[in-house]
Chain A
Amino acid sequence: MKSTDLDRIEVNPKTMPKRTNPLANVFDDLVRFCRSRSMFMLHYCTGCGAIELPPAMTSRFDMERLGIQPMVTPRQADILLITGYVSIKTLKRVILTYEQMGSPKYVIGICSCTVNGGMYWQSYATAKKLDEYMPVDLYIAGCMPRPEAVIEGLQQLMDKIKNDQANSWKQYYENYDYYLGNQQKLFGNNWQTPTDVIGEAEIYRLMGPQTLGEHTKILQQVQKPMEPLEMKL
């Protein structure tokens, strides 16, 4: 097996700015409608709120009614549910996961902990505000929110997607420097992920004035090309 090439990104022509097709808007609406009716959520239990997801998924509250299914890998998923606190160790994985998800992608912050630290505000081990590290589309209040509240929240996200209001994923590219800065503050300046966010931003034409900055400079200095590690346990 060959080692991984850096991910190559193909650009969907639909994102290109010039659009001449008169049906383009109708087509866009259709795609957005389908996006809202088919949300694959990443099966990742980051915190204790995850215990209310199985009830929401299974027979009693049956998320599949809304077209929501759990998916196993970030590549397949559209929504990332951050279910409660994220310990710093998990946060690294969450950021990697988020970057690996295909756009458009949506983040839902569940429980108190994702907003302002929640129960664990004194803890040295958890991150306090999720939106410092990645843009969040929707928060669901509760500790933890009941399955009904989760489903209600997902329905709101569906509405937002349908109305083209859930575009936080673009912010991640447009303000990458800000997010990277917060990540570096927490993980140290050597922090890097295998995903080339700046490159993706260029391809998506989402380079904003805040995409590059002092933090990305640090990243570009320390960034090592992906190379395979020696096998060790």
Chain B
Amino acid sequence: MRPENYQAVNHPPSHEYELNFGPNHPGIEGNYALKVKLQGDIVIEARADGGYLHRGFEKLMENRLWIQNIALVPRICVPDPVPMEVCYSLAVEDLDDIKVPERAQWLRVLQLELSRIAAHLFTFGGHAATTGMYTPMYWGVTDRDLILDLFEELTGGRVYSIYNLPGGVRQDMPEGFLQRVTQTMDYIDGRLKDYDNLFFTNQIFIRRSKGVGVINQQQALEWGVTGPNLRACGLAFDVRRDDSYLIYDQLDFDIPTEDAGDAWARTLVRRMELVESIRIVRQVVQALPDIKGPVRTPIPNPLAWRVKAGDSYTRVESSKGELAYYIVSNGEEKPYRVHIRGPSSMHAVQVLEKLSVGCRLEDVAQTMFSLDACPPEVDR
């Protein structure tokens, strides 16, 4: 009963040896493990090992009221919790035919895009740290914190906002909030130049990340790659545009793509998405004052709320890729089944295993971070 990764390994008489990345390893995102078998410096086999963050969300959700699950869902993806809430709410609204007031939809988009910016800033930092450059991490996390301040003001919570309920959002925004959003966006806009200098145009970083973990278009489609990782292979697909939800069809934004499909391209796509998200936030900030009305459609007493029987497959675009909830209701107070399709369930397992093979020991961590895999989402 001794966990295997702590056991000394009797190496076969060859140049092959085994290394554990994780669960306690700075080169792994969160609490996750990747076992690699190396020949010299080259990985010849990789196996992902998850479940360190497994909490059994899908089971827990079957045991809780529809509304109680709202407090539970953001925890599924810790770095980017907002899409989880929104997606769950959208799915329940779809099941129970609840119309969300327009103002609530705009507020949700505002929150979603802020969350995307925060998540991307976090990812850059992590990615840079895997290559030994810590300053972007210090900067990125700090600048992300400014967005958390906005969340705190809007929703009362820094990370887990628990702001969305089926039917809308829980509170209207406080006074002067949009002004502070604009200030923060201006600040981040201004900071981008520093990030470019430090990180995105850093020749050594480019040298490190170019050609690492290359996915071509064909493979991306075959492996189920989604989100920025897919767009880095030259495919302009975005759930926000192509399977539109909320009021994204009223917004003007581009879908940035890159063709190389390597770690560098993925980082660059995120960098450009950051700008797009700021653009969306600015549009929302300009439009929101003119959109009056309630922020929530009342739902029945949550202690005795039965959602109509049926099933719904609802997708949103999280910062990691395509996030989907499959919810089955049998007309009871609790969901009958919730299946969460986290984008990382593809990226962190199959794709990572495939990309790791043939890659250098130095680049294993970078590959994982460039895929922006989120282990709690895999483990659920």
B82 adjacent to chain A (CB < 8 Å): no
A203 at the B interface (CB under 8 A):
no
In A7-61, the 8 Å CB interface with B consists of 42-48, 50-52, 54-55, 57-60
Contact of A146 among B31, B141, B158 (CB under 8 A): B158
Hey, what's the 0/1 contact readout for B306-334 against A, CB within 8 Å counting as 1?
00000000000000000000000000000
Q: Interface segment, A129-137, A172-180, A189-197, A206-214? A: A189-197
Contacts of B31-49 to chain A: CB distance below 8 A: 31, 35, 37, 45, 47
Q: How far is the CA of A223 from the CA of B329 in the complex (A)?
A: 49
Determine if B346 is an interface residue (Cβ-Cβ < 8 Å). no
A-B contact pairs, 21 of them (CB 8 A): A42-B24, A48-B75, A52-B159, A55-B141, A87-B379, A89-B51, A89-B52, A90-B23, A93-B5, A123-B56, A123-B60, A125-B55, A191-B1, A192-B2, A226-B8, A229-B7, A229-B8, A230-B10, A231-B9, A231-B10, A233-B37
Q: How large is the interface on B (under 10, 10 to 19, 20 to 34, 35 or more residues)?
A: 35 or more
Tell whether B369 is near chain A: CB-to-CB under 8 Å.
no
Q: At the interface, yes or no: B54 with Cβ under 8 Å from chain A? A: yes
Choose the segment among B11-19, B214-222, B267-275 that binds chain A (4+ C-beta atoms closer than 8 Å): B11-19
- A63, chain B: closest CB distance, angstroms: 12
Q: Which 8 A-B pairs have the closest CB atoms?
A: A228-B10, A190-B1, A59-B142, A58-B141, A44-B24, A58-B138, A48-B78, A4-B8
A125 near B23 (CB under 8 angstroms)? no
Q: B139 touches which one: A1, A59, A120, A228 (CB < 8 A)?
A: A59
- Nearest-neighbour CB distance to chain B for A117, whole angstroms, equals 11
Chain B residues within 8 Å of A233, by CB: 18, 35, 37, 45, 47
Complex partner residue of B72 from A73, A119, A126, A229, CB under 8 angstroms: A119
Whether B30 contacts A45 by the Cβ 8 Å rule is yes
- Given A3-B8, A231-B12, A58 contacting B137 (CB threshold 8 A): yes
Q: A89-B54, A229-B7 are in contact. Are A50 and B30 (CB under 8 A)?
A: yes
- A95 CB, min distance to chain B CBs, angstroms: 9
Q: How far is the CB of A41 from chain B (nearest CB, A)?
A: 12
Which residues of A have CB within 8 Å of B4? 229
| B interface residues with partner A (beta carbon < 8 Å) | 1-12, 16-18, 23-26, 30-31, 35, 37, 45, 47, 51-56, 59-60, 63, 71-72, 75, 78-79, 122, 125, 137-139, 141-142, 144-145, 148, 158-160, 376, 379
Are B55 and A60 interface neighbours, CB within 8 A? no
The residue on A at minimum CB distance from B74 is: A48
Chain A: CB-nearest residue to B36: A233
Complex Cα distance A156/B230, Å? 47
| Known A-B contacts A54-B122, A58-B142, A59-B142; A92 and B3 likewise in contact (beta carbons under 8 Å) | yes
Bound: A77/B319 CA distance, A: 33
**B72 nearest in chain A by CB position:** A119
Cβ of B96 to closest chain A Cβ, rounded Å: 24
Cα–Cα distance between A37 and B37 once the two chains are bound (Å): 40
Contacts of B376 in A (CB 8 A): 48
Cα–Cα distance between A84 and B18 once the two chains are bound (Å) = 30
Contact across chains for A144 and B53 when beta carbons are under 8 A apart: no
A55 lies within 8 A of B148 (CB): yes
Count of chain A residues with a beta carbon within 8 Å of a chain B beta carbon: 53
Shortest Cβ distance from B35 into A: residue? A233
The answer to whether A193 touches B12 (Cβ under 8 A) is: no
Q: What is the distance, in angstroms, from B111's C-beta to the closest C-beta of chain A? A: 17
Q: Closest CB of chain B to A183's CB: distance in Å?
A: 10
A residues in contact with B138, CB < 8 Å: 58-59
Are A47 and B10 closer than 8 Å at their CB atoms?
no
Q: A57-B141, A125-B56, A226-B8 are in contact. List 10 more A-B contacts (CB 8 A).
A: A46-B52, A51-B159, A55-B144, A58-B139, A89-B52, A194-B2, A228-B10, A231-B16, A233-B18, A233-B37
Which of A90, A119, A124 makes the CB contact (< 8 A) with B52?
A90
Interface hub of A93, A120, A124, A192 (most chain B Cβ within 10 A): A93
Q: Does A198 contact B (CB under 8 A)?
A: no
Q: How far is the CA of A157 from the CA of B100 in the complex (A)?
A: 48
Cβ–Cβ contact B145 & A93, under 8 A: no
Are B24 and A231 in touch, CB under 8 angstroms? no
Q: Which residues of B contact A73 (CB under 8 A)?
A: 24
Measured CA separation A218–B349 after assembly (Å) = 38
